[in-house]
Chain A
Amino acid sequence: MAHMTVAASEKAFQLVFERARDSFAISKSDSGSWGPFTASYSAGVKLAGGEVDLQADGTVRIKELDIVYDPLSLNLGINIPEVVIGGFCIFWVPIKGCIVRAPKWTLFSANPDISIPLDLSGLIQSEVSGSFKILTKNEVDPNRLATMTDLDAEDAGVPDKWNIYLDPVWMDIDLIDIADTVGNILDAAIENAVDNLLGWLPGWAKDAIEWILGSIVDLVRAALDLVDDIDEWLSNLLGVSFGLFDFVLTMVADYFASKFPIFGIEDPYPILGYSGALIPVKIPIAQFAVAVDDKEMTITADIGA
């Protein structure tokens, strides 16, 4: 029989999971070019929600763990095509056709780029679900110096530990929600960018350019390949083109599997602290094991092996 048994109910397990969940924070930025447009983003990713469900087969099921992208800034850049006028036929003859053609005058001396900044902080949410098995590791604190004794490590707050991690069996990420306002934000940002491009021109000149070029707003939307379904477009851009969702999934999996233990026990375990001239008493832990059933997580260990 084990010397030590610690049990945590599903509710208690939920609390230790939430502590780990709330410590998760990553950031990611990237940029890329896709034909007529470029895009870059910068995202901060946090976790929220999530429900723990202990399983009879010894695994831990986590459901509806929200991925919150906040801040999330996306910047789209589009190269407006050259606008030229002229090039008309001045003199032509039958059969031969045009003999002399007018030169072309370029309205822009260089192809202008327009930039469309979008603040999508908190407007996109995805959700992770997964099944995890319990993984235990006896770990040396990375801040512990090689010359330290167990007592020195205790004093320095860097003792060795038996740590409990959640090792993913499978994980799944779903983009569950893009706020309705994103479409309006995108439309307003495009119109604002076009207005910045041409806003300084008199009204007749803006109308003339759009007469020659067509609607610049439509041109921008076409360059971005913006379909009516903004959710799908944005999901493809962030998820497929940038691979943000896969990155987040990998980071979450790695975090629970090796970065942040949901629970840890010092090894050797302190039985008695300092008492006058007496040094603390620490006893090694052996046969450390964790079992899960559908009601609780049980930690067993032998002391003083």
Chain B
Amino acid sequence: MKPNFNNSIFAATSYDSSSLGVLSTIVHQISEPGEHTGTVYYKDRFIGRFTLVCDEKSTAMQADIDLASFAAHTEKCGDQTKRFTVKPGGYLQFFVSQGPAGYHAVLLSQNEQERHAYDTRRLVKGDYFASALIRPGAYAVEAKGGKAKSEVRVAYPERGKEKMQMPAALTISAKAKAESALQVGQGVVYQVEDDDHAVSIKLAKPDDGPTPPRSNKPDAPSTPRGRFINPKLMLEGRVKPKK
């Protein structure tokens, strides 16, 4: 009867752009046309490679790259690389569909003048780091190596009869902090305003909801304690049996 839950979703309490896991995603804009080479790592171990084609002819504004899919792909297909296509000015989205956190990707781009790399562990201005938080509680948001701090709170859900309507994602940044509480599953989007930093959202204080009401049942009577009787004293008549 127990279904196959995506357990990592329930286990996640920390969302870090430098060690990507479930429920979080990095969005990076790509503008240079041409073929780019990407490499994917899990806990600093190479697990796969992909090719990104940034093509004027393409109409795709978004390419979704599931980093968790590379280990299985490499095992199955060997060196055959995955290919993604996006139009110049479009966006790459790196995310992890399942499993524990620990992923990052590096994108190598080369034009006539220079060769440069984009590393998801070091976000750049214009990137987005977004998460869908489902564990109720208070989260600490840190960026720029701890220099920028803020807090978001996920409200404990009130179980209702009707299916909820998910509100729009809340956008925050180092300057603009979230004022209101998020709903369970609502997106929070961190807009990166400076180069070379990571963003982390960590559960600081979980909210386990209202305490269940105490039972109205009377307390169980305490177990009566036995008397320890020295048989010698009993034989001497100094201890009488209880009536």
Contacts and interface: CB of A to CB of B under 8 A. Distances in A.
A102 B164 contact: no
Main secondary structure of the interface of B (DSSP, over half): loop
A99 B132 contact: no
B46 interface: no
B169 interface: yes
A102 B133 CA distance: 13
B9 A88 contact: no
Interface of A: 80, 85-86, 88-91, 99-103, 105-110, 112, 114-115, 193, 196-197, 200-205, 207-208, 210-215, 218
Contacts of B208: 202-204
B140 interface: no
A100 B27 contact: yes
18 contacts: A86-B185, A89-B169, A100-B61, A100-B128, A103-B64, A103-B97, A108-B3, A108-B5, A109-B6, A201-B5, A204-B209, A208-B135, A210-B157, A210-B159, A211-B159, A211-B184, A212-B164, A214-B160
Given A91-B91, A102-B132, A110 B3 contact: yes
B9 A107 contact: yes
Report the 10 A-B pairs with minimum CB-CB distance, sorted nearest first: A112-B3, A211-B157, A214-B163, A88-B187, A109-B4, A88-B169, A85-B185, A208-B184, A103-B95, A100-B91
Contacts of B25: 90, 102-103
B172 to A, nearest CB: 12
Contacts of A203: 208-209
Interface in B1-36: 1-6, 9-10, 22-23, 25, 27
Contacts of B23: 85-86, 105
Contacts of A213: 163
Given A88-B166, A88-B187, A103-B95, A215 B5 contact: no
A99 B10 CA distance: 29
B129 to A, nearest CB: 9
A118 to B, nearest CB: 16
B10 A205 contact: yes
Given A203-B209, A204-B135, 13 more contacts: A86-B187, A89-B169, A90-B25, A91-B27, A103-B93, A103-B97, A107-B9, A108-B4, A108-B6, A201-B10, A202-B208, A207-B156, A215-B159
Contacts of B5: 107-109, 201
Interface string B50-94: 000000000001101010000000000000000000000001010
B203 to A, nearest CB: 11
A126 B13 CA distance: 57
Contacts of B130: 88, 90, 102
B157 A99 contact: no
Contacts of B132: 85-86, 88, 102, 105
B181 interface: no
Interface in B191-230: 206-209
A204 B137 CA distance: 10
B62 A101 contact: yes
B174 interface: no
Contacts of B38: none
Interface string B158-175: 111111101011000000
A88 B168 contact: yes
B161 A215 contact: yes
Nearest to A218: B161
Contacts of B106: none
A122 to B, nearest CB: 27
Given A86-B187, A109-B4, A211 B27 contact: no
Contacts of B169: 88-90, 102
A210 B209 CA distance: 14
A200 B4 CA distance: 12
A110 B3 CA distance: 7
Contact of B1 (A196, A202, A205): A196
Interface in B123-179: 128, 130, 132, 134-136, 156-164, 166, 168-169
Contacts of A91: 27, 91, 128, 189
A90 B27 contact: yes
A107 B23 CA distance: 11
Nearest to A215: B161
A193 B25 CA distance: 35
Interface string B87-120: 0000101010110000000000000000000000
Contacts of B160: 211, 214-215
A89 B168 contact: yes
A248 B168 CA distance: 57
Given A91-B27, A105-B132, A214 B161 contact: yes
B91 A99 contact: yes
A110 B128 CA distance: 30
A139 B1 CA distance: 54
A102 B187 contact: yes
Contact of A211 (B62, B66, B91, B158): B158
A107 B97 contact: no
A99 B161 contact: no
